[in-house]
Structure 1
């Protein structure tokens, strides 16, 4: 039963994470460049930030 349950739950969790990231990307894309700058992002970094590929140290080096 555990294997069958994980076969259902794991993909559902991945879909949920995907939807949350896409929603975050959509909301960030709605911001103007000044607002993005205020939170430390450039428009070209939105997707990387939503997927957790941007770290504070990496961001500091790019500035």
Structure 2
């Protein structure tokens, strides 16, 4: 018994369109994620040091905290 791939019967232009939309979708996703990070960083930078301390973030580590970097020294997200 032989099997034929579902993509074997598709035209080359259809495959390239899917690839193009995949690339464009990836770019849009990365841009949206970057803009969301920038907004979160901007919002946290507007807080005073006491408010940042209350939520466990040091001013110098705002970028890392927004991006979800784990600080091995404390074993928590910073």
After TM superposition, the score normalised by the length of structure 1 is: 0.83
42, 49, 63: which one aligns with 1:47: 63
CA separation of 1:16 and 1:59: change in aligned 2, threshold 3 A:
farther
For the aligned residues, what is the CA RMSD?
A: 1.9
Describe the superposition over 1:16-52 as per-residue Cα deviations: whole angstroms up to 9, x where unpaired.
0000000000000000000000000000010111112
Unaligned runs of 5+ residues in structure 1 are: none
Question: What is the CA-CA distance between 1:14 and the residue it aligns to?
Answer: 0.3
Is 1:29 aligned to residue 48 of structure 2?
A: no
Highest relative contact order (Cα 8 Å, sep 6+), 1 or 2?
Answer: 1
- How many equivalent pairs are there? 60
Computing the radius of gyration from Cα coordinates, the structure with the larger value is 2
Higher helix share: 1
- Gaps of at least 5 residues in structure 2 are 1-16
Q: Does 1:15 find its partner at 2:31?
A: yes
